[in-house]
Amino acid sequence: MNPSVARLPGMSQILLTFGLSICSLSILLPASPAWAIHGGAGSLGAGMTNAVLMIVTVLTQFMVPALTRRFSWAKVLPAGALFMGLPSLLQAVSPSLVNVLVSSGLRGVGFGILTVCCASALSYLIPLEYRGRAVGLYGLAAAGAQLIFTPLAPAALDLFGFRPVIMAGVIAALATPFAAQLGGKVDRYLAEQVTTSTGSSPAASTGEILRRIWPALLTLTLMTSVGGAFLTFSTEIAPTPVLASVALLALCAMATPTRLWGGSITDRWGTRRLMTPVLAFAAVGTVLVGLMQGTGVGPTVLLIGGALIIGFGYGFLQSVTMVRALNDAGGPAETQRASVAWNACFDVGTGLGALAIGALAQIATFSAAWLLSAAVLAIFALVVGVLDAKGSRRSAAS
């Protein structure tokens, strides 16, 4: 009888640590820019709050392997939870732009540590035959927190005021004891690997790891670019604010169960049969958004239909690409660097999509920007499909 994946050693600590950090992130993503505007910052300053958070997150992610080697997982992981949560209290002190940017940067240090460590711990502690389902639960913890807290944050600001909502970001610090337990489990696992790895092949170089996992990374970057752009510009492309909110809810509601489903079915089907069709399907949803102007079909139908399809790909491919990157990277020595690359591509894709769509829309129109994005998705889906088909034939021949 297969055990429940959630009950496997370390899984509960992974879900609690990562889930609480995403709750904190989801609360402050809309609240911090609004707090900066309340303090007199303009739209540029408000946008800088989350930009600083993401920039510091990505920079920290590349430092995590060195940090865990130098200080141990049992120290670095709980430090990440504290960095993610406690600066929220500092941010609540004043809405001055300097204070909001500094506190956002400190939170980025914590988020960078938690994203890499939680994903790496999953690959270390969960047996390979359960990895897809574990990644699905991991994604569900993130998507579920976003689905609940991101839409609630603006209403909470209106109901309770700025400071209580900003201070609620401290919830990530509640993950500290779970993070410490998880870090101890990983330290013990890695110590056991050292004692049993005599005579094993040396770890692959970073370049070799990237060569193995680049299809998963590029697929993730393209999909999060489209998803991030939709999250950013929904109010610009929707005919009404109410319809923009409905479209956002549709995307998040679809992305939540598909993160669980996408990870779960990889245990049975693998990843190479899944990435191409879902990426192509996401391209169809992007086309629907691009056709909102200049067609006889109602914009509401096209926008909501596009949001649902994009949400499907956005959630599904996050889990599938994580499983593929972790599996293709190699052994435990390569896993953490694959996790760094996956998380960095997720964050870069989210920001890159908003930047690219915004720039294309300013040069031409939003319709042209979305249709060009759909073409890029479709072309890369074809490229990945051809590469995976060749790889499958080589594996069958051998």
Are 138 and 217 in a shared domain?
no
Task: Give the residue from 170, 193, 216 where a domain finishes.
Answer: 193
Task: Give the residue from 166, 193, 220 where a domain finishes.
Answer: 193
pLDDT at 340: 87
Q: What is the DSSP letter of 127?
A: -
Are 179 and 307 in a shared domain?
no
Are 181 and 212 in a shared domain?
no
Q: Please state, in angstroms and rounded to a whole number, the distance separating the CA atoms of residues 162 and 177.
A: 28
Q: Please state, in angstroms and rounded to a whole number, the distance separating the CA atoms of residues 269 and 194.
A: 32
Are 73 and 167 in a shared domain?
yes
CATH number of 213's domain: 1.20.1250.20
Q: What is the DSSP letter of 124?
A: H
CB 39 within 8 A of CB 101: no
Supply 311's token pair. Answer: 């949400």
Are 49 and 153 in a shared domain?
yes
Supply 314's token pair. Answer: 């956005």
Per the structure, the complete domain to which residue 273 belongs is given by 206-398
Of 229, 220, 230, nearest in space to 259 by CA:
220
pLDDT at 1: 39
For the whole prediction, is pTM greater than 0.85?
no
Cα-based distances in Å from 320 to 277, 317, 342: 12, 5, 11
What's the distance, CA 41 to chain centroid?
Answer: 28
Are 396 and 282 in a shared domain?
yes
198 belongs to a structural domain: no
pLDDT in tens, the chain (398 residues): 355 888 888 999 999 999 999 999 988 888 888 898 899 988 678 778 887 888 899 899 989 999 999 999 999 999 999 999 999 999 999 999 999 999 999 999 999 999 999 999 998 998 888 888 888 899 888 888 888 887 778 778 888 999 999 999 999 999 999 999 999 999 999 888 766 655 555 667 888 888 989 999 999 999 998 988 887 777 678 888 778 878 888 888 898 889 888 888 888 887 888 899 999 999 999 999 998 865 555 788 899 999 999 999 999 999 999 989 988 887 777 888 888 899 889 888 877 777 788 788 878 888 898 999 999 999 999 998 888 887 666 655 55
pLDDT at 392: 65
What's the distance, CA 136 to chain centroid?
Answer: 13
Tally the domains of the chain.
2
CB 132 within 8 A of CB 267: yes
4 belongs to a structural domain: no
> DSSP string spanning 234-269?
HHHHSSSHHHHHHHHHHHHHHHHHHHHHHHHHHHHH
Q: Please state, in angstroms and rounded to a whole number, the distance separating the CA atoms of residues 188 and 114.
A: 19
Are 226 and 127 in a shared domain?
no
Rg (CA), the chain: 21
Are 216 and 173 in a shared domain?
no
Are 364 and 267 in a shared domain?
yes
199 belongs to a structural domain: no
Q: Where are the alpha helices (DSSP H) in the chain?
A: 11-38, 43-71, 73-85, 87-91, 97-125, 131-160, 162-167, 176-196, 206-237, 241-269, 275-290, 299-329, 332-363, 366-397
Are 294 and 396 in a shared domain?
yes
Q: What is the DSSP letter of 129?
A: G
- Positive/negative CA dihedral, 97, 98, 100, 104: positive
